[in-house]
């Protein structure tokens, strides 16, 4: 008798990729990381130019002189430092990228929970739509692997609701 009076369970769906793609904060993070990467590239390029200038000077020295031997040693050390610094900065930037996107994903998950509670959803599943051109993929099985939702009723898709709520929470840009 209880099962006849039970309310149906409401399940929502969300395209996480689309939410993250349309979340304006992601754009800001991407721009900041791109600017940092460009700054690092410039620093490496400038340092490389200094090493090349030393190398140009080395060519004009007597190869057997103490000055030439010392400068050659400095150039070799500078090249090793440059390589190490570039690799270290790249790893550091990748760690920052991962941390910032993990935070972003946490914000999305929190907002999904809020919207699910407001909408009376018992659960929200990830809907991962097939990418455009999927039928031309050389690895059809890989495209389908992990897809657990084959159809979603658009009325249960909360993707836009979550995206709008996230973007509405961001500080408004001052008028130009």
Q: What is the per-residue pLDDT for 8?
A: 84
Residue 149 near residue 125 (C-beta atoms within 8 A): yes
Q: What is the per-residue pLDDT for 4?
A: 66
Residue 82 near residue 89 (C-beta atoms within 8 A): no
**Is this prediction's pTM over 0.95?**
no
Q: Of all helices (H) and strands (E), which one includes residue 58?
A: helix 24-59
Per-residue pLDDT 10s for the chain (176 aa) are: 555 677 788 999 999 999 999 999 999 999 999 999 999 999 999 999 999 999 999 999 898 999 999 999 999 999 999 999 999 999 999 999 999 999 999 999 999 999 999 999 999 998 887 777 777 777 777 767 767 777 788 889 999 999 999 999 998 878 77
Q: Round to whole Å and give the CA distance between 89 and 39.
A: 11
- Strands (DSSP E) contained in 47-127 are 123-126
Q: What is the per-residue pLDDT for 80?
A: 95
> Is residue 125 classed as helix, strand or coil in its secondary structure?
strand
- Strands (DSSP E) contained in the chain are 11-14, 123-126
Q: What is the per-residue pLDDT for 29?
A: 96
5-17: burial string, b at 16+ Cβ within 10 Å, e else: eeeeeeebbbbbe
Q: Round to whole Å and give the CA distance between 125 and 127.
A: 6
Q: Round to whole Å and give the CA distance between 120 and 57.
A: 74
Q: Round to whole Å and give the CA distance between 7 and 171.
A: 39
């Amino acid at each position: 008798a209880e099962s006849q009076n039970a309310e149906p369970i409401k399940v929502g769906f969300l395209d996480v990729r689309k939410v993250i793609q349309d979340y304006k904060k992601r754009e800001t993070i991407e721009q900041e990381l791109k600017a940092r990467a460009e700054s690092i590239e410039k620093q490496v390029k400038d340092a490389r130019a200094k090493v090349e200038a030393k190398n140009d000077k080395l060519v004009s020295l007597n190869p057997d002189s103490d000055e030439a031997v010392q400068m050659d040693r400095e150039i070799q050390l500078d090249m090793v430092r440059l390589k190490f610094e570039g690799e270290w900065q790249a790893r550091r930037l990748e760690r920052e990228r991962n941390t910032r996107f993990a935070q972003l994903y946490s914000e999305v998950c929190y907002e999904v929970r809020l919207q699910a509670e407001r909408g009376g959803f018992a659960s929200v599943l990830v809907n991962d739509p097939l990418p455009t051109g999927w039928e031309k993929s050389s690895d059809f099985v890989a495209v389908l692997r992990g897809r657990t939702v084959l159809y979603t009723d658009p009325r249960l898709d909360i993707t836009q609701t979550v995206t709008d709520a996230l973007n509405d929470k961001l500080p408004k840009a001052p008028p130009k």
